[in-house]
Amino acid sequence: MKRAEELQAILRRIDHRGYPAYKDTAGSYQFGSYVLGIDHVQGDPFASPSKVSIRIDGAKAGFPAQMTGKKHTRIALADALIRRFGKEIERYSHQAKGSGKSGLISVSRPGQEVLERSALEISPDTGDLFIRLEIGFPANGRTINAGELEKILFRFLPECIRKSFYYQTADQKHLASVRELAEDQYYIRKELKEQRLAAFVADGSILPRESGISDRPMKQAVRFRTPDSMRVVFQLPNAGRIEGMGIPQGVTLIVGGGYHGKSTLLKALERGVYNHIAGDGREYVITDDTAVKIRAEDGRSIQHTDISMFINGLPNGKDTKAFRTEDASGSTSQAANVIEAMEAGTRLFLIDEDTSATNFMIRDELMARVVHQEMEPITPFIDRVEELYTAYGISTILVAGSCGSYFYKADHVIQMMQYEPEEITQRAREEAGRFADYAKDRPQLAASAHPMFNRCFARDQKAAQNDRMKVKGMGKDAVSIDRDTIELRYVEQLVDSEQTMALGYMVKYARQRLFDGKKDLQSVAELLEQIVEEKGIGSVCESRYLPCNLAVPRVQEIYACMNRCRALRI
């Protein structure tokens, strides 16, 4: 390892030379209490910025073991530190002048959710900090301006590091509150399983968001108020007594008039698989962390998926036990999404009638009488929803606004009125009893066969032999692997583009190393999850440097991404 003074000498030697001479700066340098790594130097001032890392010894950083020892508090601490660092460097970005991306200093910009990121990793054993960021090395045209880079590396960066990554200079009270919130959220997640709850929404939560393009809480929004009949009380380790609505396992229906908050509640539950930062309004909206939002997805690719639980006897004779298509319909795509979520181990479906295929969800009594059962290949979701819970242990929370037949299947009914919930289960049953029973004269369905989950993707010879496969993110909507685009815009629980990038690297790794025609999809997904858990997200990148823009996705999104990869073949 070189000394910081040696980096200064290199910069002064290459000043005013052609831009490629910046390559001489690559390496590691001791800067007092931290090590600066110049891991990758951009080839041009207009190219992607250079990759820089910082390593701080745990003893020097000084963060207490109660913050770094357990995974949930360690991720929360890393999230808080990277937010602080981001605010600090924002004051200095582009203060060093030049052409192209000269002077840019950037790091992850987390949203409202707390995610495990490559931008800052903390060792559980030693407390060492590993920070990754990007810096645009300054130039005038394509001529090195080393004086401006020296300003960044020797003035701006040390000041930001000093204020951000040492416990002694940190806002210790704030970090204590971050740890306490993470512990309380973890406690509620454990209690959901103990108390057989699918989700919890605390009194006073703010569910509406600022706008369609902002995930911040809406100002002057109606705060959540729990109906007494669904009230649950937790005694949290730090915050003490907290009350809120506990949604039991089983089938829960959310109803109400338009614009009264049905979908807003469902969206909050959908995001409740992640922890949220203090001030978000959804800190104590906690959902079973395996929950999957199910919707129709016209046009998606489906590979060898057993959708026979819902669709059988297609007129074209297509095999629905091993269904495949490059252009799925609304009903076949939603059926595949259900089965694939089951394969991914979900315990909770979240469904909004508005984004579902109507013929997949329901057949009313009159339609069933006119178009006889033997002529209809679709067994609607409503006829399987009870079986999904009793036979497979999968609960459902369903938003409905136009079809009353769901009342007959619901264990609990919540009506939203001006963003306030009221439990109306008993009243809904009484009203339903005044109408012809949905089940009347309908044939009794036999229990469905357990879907087959032993799908094995073939070895990808092309990928295995291609060391230069590039991963390119397209926001949250898609990721491209060697020009094969995987559409993810309808995988609605992806909340950050860094998760999408991570999924791209994970699928690339699986294509090159794991798919062999013998391991099934479950085995591959579990292996990926295990590799990331044990070695970090960087272990699937296999590059000289770890990208600074990755966030760890859930295993459910790993399945979703692989199931939408058209390049994979059974």
Could you report the per-residue pLDDT of 279-334, keeping only the tens digit for each? 999 999 999 999 999 999 999 999 999 999 999 988 777 899 999 999 999 999 99
**Average pLDDT of the chain to the nearest whole number:** 93
Give the CA angle between residues 360, 364, 369 to the nearest 5°. 115
Within the chain, what is the greatest distance between any pair of CA atoms? 89
pLDDT, position 149: 97
Q: Among residues 286, 259, 260, 262, which one has the least CA distance to residue 272? A: 286
Beta strand segments in 358-411, E? 395-399
Give tens-digit pLDDT for 112-164: 999 999 999 999 999 999 999 999 999 999 999 999 999 999 999 999 999 99
Cα(340)–Cα(518) distance, rounded to whole angstroms? 19
Q: For residue 446, is pLDDT > 80?
A: no
Contact indicator for 565, 493 with CB cutoff of 8 Å: no
CA distances to 10, 307, 317, 424 from 446, in Å: 76, 16, 22, 31
Least confident of 195-204, 371-380, 465-474, 480-489: 371-380
Residue 372: is its pLDDT beyond 70?
A: no
518: pLDDT confidence band, cut at 50, 70 and 90? confident
- How far is it, in rounded angstroms, from Cα 494 to Cα 471? 17
Asked whether the predicted pLDDT for residue 263 surpasses 90, the reply is: yes
Q: What is the mean pLDDT of residues 503-531?
A: 92
More confident residue, 183 or 544: 183
* Contact criterion met (CB below 8 Å) for 16 and 143: yes
pLDDT in tens, 28-86: 999 999 999 999 999 999 999 999 999 999 999 999 999 999 999 999 999 999 999 99
Radius of gyration of the chain (CA): 26
Is residue 358 very low, low, confident or very high in pLDDT (cuts 50, 70, 90)? very high
pLDDT of amino acid 59: 97
Q: Is the pLDDT score of 470 beyond 80? A: yes
Residue 451 predicted with pLDDT over 80: yes
The percent of residues in the chain predicted with pLDDT above 90, rounded, is: 82
pLDDT at residue number 283: 98
pLDDT attached to residue 84: 98
| Pairwise pLDDT comparison (456 vs 11), residue with the higher score | 11
pLDDT at 459 over 90: no
Specify the DSSP element, H or E, that contains 285.
strand 285-287
